Structure 1
Amino acid sequence: MIRHGEQAPTAADGEDGGLSDVGRRQADQLGQRLEGIPFAEIHHSPLPRAVQTADVIAAYLPNVPTHACEHATDRTPIPSVEDRVQYPERFLAWLDRVPAQERDENAVGLQAAVEHFSATDADDRHELVITHNFVIGWFVRHVLDAPTWRWIGLDQANCGLTIVQFDTDRPPTLVSFNDIGHL
């Protein structure tokens, strides 16, 4: 899992500005690092900064299919009214200000993403997911079997690499978190 490269400033109309020049260099350095890994697919969020990050990285991974994936889109898990007691009080006011388009009540979408990307079969495969900070934080929280609210504060650098491993016969494993050795 990769967090997209550094975002350019958001446009006056609120549109995602895509990658900054630094973000493009970050994606390029990460692409060089990943070159030669036998990925089965590259899944990316449909937002411009993730699309552009995927395009740069895909240039280093010829013949690897790349596609926008709703499971990789930007989401913020928000507790329902009845589940707010599971979150520390200090986070609730911040969560209340999350924009409507990013809200994922009780992490329904994020849980679907975990189910989708954790599916295993008899053959090993490597899949690259280019996504957003909170999505990666949710996966790490899931793999570590941490409390629901612990995704908060699991911050990744732009183009940081997090590796999770799902196996059929054991719990998931966090192989690396926010590795930025390529930057």
Structure 2
Amino acid sequence: MRRLYLARHGAADAFGQLTDDGRRQSALLGERLAAMPIDAVWHSPLSRAAESAGELARHLPGVPVAEAAELVDHVPYVPAPAETPASWAGYFDGFDQAEAASGRALADALVARFATVPGEPASDVHEVLVTHADQIAWLVRHALDAPPPRWLGLNSANTGLTIIEYRAGLPPTMVMFNDLSHLPSGLRWTGFPRDLWP
């Protein structure tokens, strides 16, 4: 079995650096994961994800932390005009075919590297991926075998926890999506537009 613990980075400022709230969110996620048999923490190359991984890893002594290029923030799939909901049409303005192909290649590499059952010798693998909302959405869409455009609209809060399991001979299992129970109410829902906060 491979179990992926997917988390969006903590809250960040306009320059992509973690805020005090983002550091606290990441530390609380680390406290939550401390009881799990984590084998590795992987993070996006972007500083907000790298900082978040460092904060949460302080609660996982001895667990290796490393960068994974496949986790970088990117648009995984640019839908054709007929596949694009009207409310999303402007989001894809300016994407040319080369950019769309590059994003799709990165998304395919992300799935190939992480959304698989471990190879031989067979053993359970537990990995934390600290990444971005679009990459989590793409992995969720893949796990559910949904059409490529369905990554749209699957957002994650900062340090929201999503867990997916991969087992030989079975389809992927969504254990949970965007769980925020490790955060106090004042730190929940960052990463979503303010008008969507409860």
Measured against the shorter chain, the TM-score band is 0.7 to 0.9
> Who is 1:13 aligned against?
none
Contact 1:133 / 1:155 at 8 angstroms: preserved in 2?
yes
C-alpha distance in structure 2 between counterparts of 1:38 and 1:96, whole Å? 43
Matched length:
172
Deviation, structure 1 residue 4: 0.2
Alpha-carbon deviation of 1:8? 1.7
Among candidates 1, 10, 13, match of residue 5 of structure 1: 10
Q: Which residue of 1 aligns with 2:107?
A: 110
TM-score, structure 1 as length reference? 0.87
Superposed, which structure 2 residues align to 1:21-170 within 5 Å? 21-79=20-78, 83-97=80-94, 103-105=99-101, 107-121=104-118, 122-170=122-170
Which residue identity does 2:166 align to in structure 1? F
Q: Which amino acid aligns with 1:133?
A: A
Partner Cα separation in structure 2 for residue 163 and residue 31 of structure 1: 15
The 1:78/1:143 distance shift into structure 2, 3 A limit, reads closer
Given that 1:78 and 1:95 are in contact with CA atoms closer than 8 Å, whether structure 2 keeps it comes out as no
The alignment's TM-score, normalised by the length of structure 2, stands at: 0.81
The Cα of 1:85 is off from its aligned counterpart by: 3.2
RMSD of aligned residue pairs (Cα, Å):
1.8
Name the amino acid aligned to 2:108.
Q
Which residue type is aligned with residue 182 of structure 1? H
Identity of aligned residues (%): 39
Q: What are the ranges of 5 or more consecutive residues in structure 2 without an aligned counterpart?
A: 1-5, 184-198
Where in structure 1 are there 5+ consecutive unaligned residues? Answer: 11-15
Where in structure 1 do 4 or more consecutive aligned residues deviate above 4 Å?
none
Secondary structure at 2:76's aligned position in 1? Answer: strand
Match of 1:180 in 2: 180
